[in-house]
Structure 1
Amino acid sequence: MAVRNSRLRIKQGIRAKISGTSQRPRISVFKSNAKIYAQIIDDQKGHTLVAASSTELGAKENTNVAMSKEVGKKLAEKAVANGITEVVFDRNGYIYHGKVKALADGAREGGLKF
Protein backbone atom coordinates (compact mmCIF):
# COMPACT_ATOMS: atom_id res chain seq x y z
CA MET A 1 0.00 0.00 0.00
CA ALA A 2 2.94 2.33 0.62
CA VAL A 3 3.96 2.31 -3.06
CA ARG A 4 0.45 3.31 -4.15
CA ASN A 5 0.33 6.16 -1.64
CA SER A 6 3.75 7.46 -2.65
CA ARG A 7 2.80 7.36 -6.35
CA LEU A 8 -0.39 9.30 -5.63
CA ARG A 9 1.57 11.89 -3.63
CA ILE A 10 4.02 12.30 -6.52
CA LYS A 11 1.09 12.46 -8.97
CA GLN A 12 -0.53 15.31 -7.03
CA GLY A 13 2.73 17.26 -7.09
CA ILE A 14 3.03 16.83 -10.86
CA ARG A 15 -0.61 17.80 -11.50
CA ALA A 16 -0.18 20.95 -9.40
CA LYS A 17 2.51 22.09 -11.84
CA ILE A 18 1.17 21.04 -15.24
CA SER A 19 -2.18 21.38 -16.91
CA GLY A 20 -3.44 20.80 -20.44
CA THR A 21 -4.80 23.70 -22.47
CA SER A 22 -6.48 23.87 -25.84
CA GLN A 23 -3.15 24.85 -27.44
CA ARG A 24 -1.06 22.29 -25.49
CA PRO A 25 -3.18 19.44 -24.14
CA ARG A 26 -1.82 16.95 -21.61
CA ILE A 27 -0.83 13.33 -22.31
CA SER A 28 -1.82 11.26 -19.29
CA VAL A 29 -0.34 7.76 -18.94
CA PHE A 30 -1.82 4.92 -16.89
CA LYS A 31 -0.30 1.48 -16.64
CA SER A 32 -1.71 -1.56 -14.95
CA ASN A 33 0.16 -4.81 -14.44
CA ALA A 34 -0.96 -6.04 -17.87
CA LYS A 35 -1.89 -3.03 -20.04
CA ILE A 36 -0.91 0.56 -20.75
CA TYR A 37 -3.26 3.41 -21.60
CA ALA A 38 -2.69 7.01 -22.73
CA GLN A 39 -5.04 9.93 -23.27
CA ILE A 40 -4.66 13.46 -24.55
CA ILE A 41 -6.74 15.73 -22.33
CA ASP A 42 -7.81 19.39 -22.51
CA ASP A 43 -8.05 20.26 -18.79
CA GLN A 44 -9.68 23.64 -19.40
CA LYS A 45 -12.73 22.01 -20.99
CA GLY A 46 -12.42 18.71 -19.14
CA HIS A 47 -12.47 16.69 -22.37
CA THR A 48 -10.48 13.70 -23.55
CA LEU A 49 -9.46 14.53 -27.10
CA VAL A 50 -7.65 11.31 -28.13
CA ALA A 51 -7.00 7.97 -26.44
CA ALA A 52 -5.00 4.84 -27.22
CA SER A 53 -4.27 1.65 -25.33
CA SER A 54 -2.56 -1.69 -25.66
CA THR A 55 -5.97 -3.42 -25.69
CA GLU A 56 -6.90 -1.40 -28.78
CA LEU A 57 -3.81 -2.74 -30.52
CA GLY A 58 -4.79 -6.31 -29.72
CA ALA A 59 -2.38 -7.10 -26.90
CA LYS A 60 -3.38 -10.51 -25.57
CA GLU A 61 -0.56 -10.86 -23.06
CA ASN A 62 1.16 -8.46 -20.69
CA THR A 63 2.33 -5.27 -22.33
CA ASN A 64 6.06 -4.93 -22.89
CA VAL A 65 8.25 -1.96 -23.86
CA ALA A 66 7.79 -2.57 -27.60
CA MET A 67 3.99 -2.56 -27.26
CA SER A 68 4.18 0.62 -25.18
CA LYS A 69 6.10 2.30 -27.99
CA GLU A 70 3.41 1.21 -30.47
CA VAL A 71 0.72 2.71 -28.20
CA GLY A 72 2.66 6.01 -28.24
CA LYS A 73 2.86 5.94 -32.04
CA LYS A 74 -0.86 5.18 -32.33
CA LEU A 75 -1.70 8.03 -29.94
CA ALA A 76 0.46 10.43 -31.96
CA GLU A 77 -1.11 9.28 -35.22
CA LYS A 78 -4.60 10.00 -33.87
CA ALA A 79 -3.49 13.33 -32.38
CA VAL A 80 -1.90 14.58 -35.60
CA ALA A 81 -5.08 13.59 -37.47
CA ASN A 82 -7.02 15.80 -35.02
CA GLY A 83 -4.59 18.72 -35.48
CA ILE A 84 -2.68 18.30 -32.19
CA THR A 85 1.09 18.64 -32.48
CA GLU A 86 2.28 20.14 -29.16
CA VAL A 87 1.48 18.52 -25.83
CA VAL A 88 2.54 18.40 -22.18
CA PHE A 89 3.60 14.98 -20.82
CA ASP A 90 2.10 13.77 -17.52
CA ARG A 91 3.81 10.60 -16.35
CA ASN A 92 1.11 10.28 -13.68
CA GLY A 93 3.51 9.58 -10.82
CA TYR A 94 5.30 6.72 -12.58
CA ILE A 95 9.07 6.75 -12.96
CA TYR A 96 10.11 7.99 -16.43
CA HIS A 97 11.67 4.65 -17.33
CA GLY A 98 10.78 1.51 -19.24
CA LYS A 99 7.21 1.43 -20.53
CA VAL A 100 6.44 5.09 -19.75
CA LYS A 101 9.60 6.25 -21.52
CA ALA A 102 8.87 3.95 -24.48
CA LEU A 103 5.37 5.42 -24.81
CA ALA A 104 6.81 8.95 -24.78
CA ASP A 105 9.45 8.03 -27.37
CA GLY A 106 6.80 6.47 -29.60
CA ALA A 107 4.67 9.62 -29.36
CA ARG A 108 7.68 11.76 -30.31
CA GLU A 109 8.40 9.51 -33.29
CA GLY A 110 4.77 9.87 -34.33
CA GLY A 111 5.11 13.65 -34.56
CA LEU A 112 4.18 15.06 -31.16
CA LYS A 113 6.39 17.73 -29.58
CA PHE A 114 6.90 17.90 -25.82
Structure 2
Amino acid sequence: MMSRLDLSFCRRQRRRRFKIRSINHDNRLRLSVFKSNKFVYVQAIDDEQHKTIASASSISKDFPDSIKTYGVEGCKWIGKTIADKLKAKKITKIVFDLGGWQMHGCIKALADSARENGLEF
Protein backbone atom coordinates (compact mmCIF):
# COMPACT_ATOMS: atom_id res chain seq x y z
CA MET A 1 0.00 0.00 0.00
CA MET A 2 1.28 3.45 -0.87
CA SER A 3 1.54 6.12 1.75
CA ARG A 4 -0.02 9.55 1.35
CA LEU A 5 3.38 11.06 0.58
CA ASP A 6 3.92 8.60 -2.27
CA LEU A 7 0.49 9.37 -3.69
CA SER A 8 1.04 13.13 -3.57
CA PHE A 9 4.44 12.67 -5.26
CA CYS A 10 2.84 10.64 -8.06
CA ARG A 11 0.07 13.19 -8.50
CA ARG A 12 2.54 16.05 -8.65
CA GLN A 13 4.66 14.14 -11.18
CA ARG A 14 1.66 13.31 -13.36
CA ARG A 15 0.40 16.90 -13.26
CA ARG A 16 3.80 18.33 -14.27
CA ARG A 17 4.28 15.84 -17.12
CA PHE A 18 0.82 16.68 -18.49
CA LYS A 19 1.67 20.40 -18.48
CA ILE A 20 5.03 19.76 -20.16
CA ARG A 21 3.42 17.71 -22.94
CA SER A 22 0.59 20.18 -23.52
CA ILE A 23 2.87 23.25 -23.59
CA ASN A 24 5.77 21.69 -25.54
CA HIS A 25 4.72 22.70 -29.08
CA ASP A 26 8.31 23.13 -30.28
CA ASN A 27 8.98 19.42 -29.68
CA ARG A 28 11.93 20.15 -27.45
CA LEU A 29 13.75 17.41 -25.62
CA ARG A 30 12.63 16.75 -22.07
CA LEU A 31 15.39 16.80 -19.45
CA SER A 32 14.12 14.33 -16.87
CA VAL A 33 15.61 14.21 -13.35
CA PHE A 34 15.48 11.28 -10.96
CA LYS A 35 17.19 11.03 -7.61
CA SER A 36 17.46 8.21 -5.14
CA ASN A 37 18.88 8.28 -1.64
CA LYS A 38 22.45 8.04 -2.97
CA PHE A 39 22.50 8.90 -6.67
CA VAL A 40 21.16 11.43 -9.18
CA TYR A 41 20.27 10.61 -12.78
CA VAL A 42 19.44 12.94 -15.71
CA GLN A 43 18.19 11.98 -19.17
CA ALA A 44 17.43 14.03 -22.26
CA ILE A 45 14.43 12.27 -23.79
CA ASP A 46 12.84 12.73 -27.20
CA ASP A 47 9.15 12.06 -26.50
CA GLU A 48 8.18 11.72 -30.17
CA GLN A 49 10.65 8.92 -30.89
CA HIS A 50 10.66 7.57 -27.31
CA LYS A 51 14.46 7.58 -27.19
CA THR A 52 17.06 8.81 -24.75
CA ILE A 53 19.43 11.21 -26.51
CA ALA A 54 21.92 11.82 -23.70
CA SER A 55 22.27 10.92 -20.04
CA ALA A 56 24.46 11.67 -17.05
CA SER A 57 24.48 10.33 -13.53
CA SER A 58 26.47 10.17 -10.35
CA ILE A 59 27.26 6.49 -10.94
CA SER A 60 29.04 7.05 -14.26
CA LYS A 61 32.72 6.21 -14.56
CA ASP A 62 33.56 9.85 -15.35
CA PHE A 63 32.22 11.05 -11.99
CA PRO A 64 35.09 12.44 -9.87
CA ASP A 65 35.91 10.56 -6.68
CA SER A 66 36.51 13.78 -4.78
CA ILE A 67 32.81 14.77 -4.96
CA LYS A 68 30.09 13.17 -2.86
CA THR A 69 27.66 11.28 -5.08
CA TYR A 70 24.58 12.89 -3.58
CA GLY A 71 25.05 16.56 -2.96
CA VAL A 72 25.07 20.00 -4.49
CA GLU A 73 28.60 19.67 -5.91
CA GLY A 74 27.74 16.36 -7.53
CA CYS A 75 24.60 17.82 -9.08
CA LYS A 76 26.57 20.78 -10.45
CA TRP A 77 28.93 18.34 -12.15
CA ILE A 78 26.01 16.36 -13.60
CA GLY A 79 24.39 19.56 -14.94
CA LYS A 80 27.63 20.59 -16.62
CA THR A 81 28.10 17.11 -18.10
CA ILE A 82 24.60 16.87 -19.57
CA ALA A 83 24.89 20.39 -20.99
CA ASP A 84 28.20 19.53 -22.67
CA LYS A 85 26.74 16.33 -24.16
CA LEU A 86 23.72 18.17 -25.55
CA LYS A 87 25.80 21.05 -26.91
CA ALA A 88 27.98 18.50 -28.72
CA LYS A 89 24.79 17.32 -30.46
CA LYS A 90 23.85 20.98 -31.19
CA ILE A 91 20.86 21.02 -28.84
CA THR A 92 20.40 24.09 -26.68
CA LYS A 93 16.63 24.40 -26.05
CA ILE A 94 15.02 21.85 -23.75
CA VAL A 95 12.14 21.47 -21.30
CA PHE A 96 13.17 20.78 -17.69
CA ASP A 97 11.11 18.02 -16.06
CA LEU A 98 11.44 17.97 -12.28
CA GLY A 99 9.42 14.81 -11.98
CA GLY A 100 7.85 15.06 -8.56
CA TRP A 101 10.80 16.83 -6.96
CA GLN A 102 10.78 20.41 -5.76
CA MET A 103 13.10 23.02 -7.23
CA HIS A 104 15.56 23.49 -4.38
CA GLY A 105 18.84 22.08 -3.15
CA CYS A 106 20.33 19.45 -5.39
CA ILE A 107 17.81 19.84 -8.23
CA LYS A 108 18.23 23.61 -8.30
CA ALA A 109 22.03 23.26 -8.41
CA LEU A 110 21.70 20.88 -11.36
CA ALA A 111 19.38 23.26 -13.24
CA ASP A 112 21.56 26.30 -12.57
CA SER A 113 24.67 24.46 -13.73
CA ALA A 114 22.95 23.35 -16.94
CA ARG A 115 21.82 26.93 -17.63
CA GLU A 116 25.31 28.32 -16.98
CA ASN A 117 26.76 25.85 -19.48
CA GLY A 118 24.49 26.81 -22.36
CA LEU A 119 21.10 25.10 -22.06
CA GLU A 120 17.92 27.18 -22.30
CA PHE A 121 14.73 26.23 -20.48
Query: Does TM-score exceed 0.5, indicating one fold?
Result: yes
In the TM superposition, residue 2 of structure 1 has moved relative to its aligned partner by 2.2
Corresponding residue for residue 84 of structure 1? 91
Cα-Cα RMSD: 1.8
Deviations 1:18-72 (A, max 9, x none): 1367751110000000000000011011011000001111558541111101100
Cα deviation digits, residues 92-113 of structure 1 (max 9, x gap): 0101000111110111111100
Partner of 2:70: 63
CA contact (8 A) 2:44 2:55 kept: yes
Q: Report the equivalent of 1:11.
A: 13
TM-score, normalization: structure 2? 0.86
Question: Greater CA deviation, 14-23 or 92-101?
Answer: 14-23
TM normalised by structure 1 equals 0.91
User: Percent of pairs identical after alignment?
Assistant: 42
In the alignment, the residues of structure 1 paired with residue 26 and residue 50 of structure 2 have an alpha-carbon distance, to the nearest angstrom, of 10
Alignment of 1:1-114 (within 5 A): 1-19=3-21, 23-56=27-60, 57-58=63-64, 61-114=68-121
Larger radius of gyration: 2
- Extract unaligned runs of 5+ from structure 1: none
Runs of at least 4 residues off by over 2 Å: 19-23, 58-62
Note if contact 1:21-1:44 (Cα within 8 Å) is conserved in structure 2. no
Q: Which runs of 5+ in 2 are unaligned?
A: none
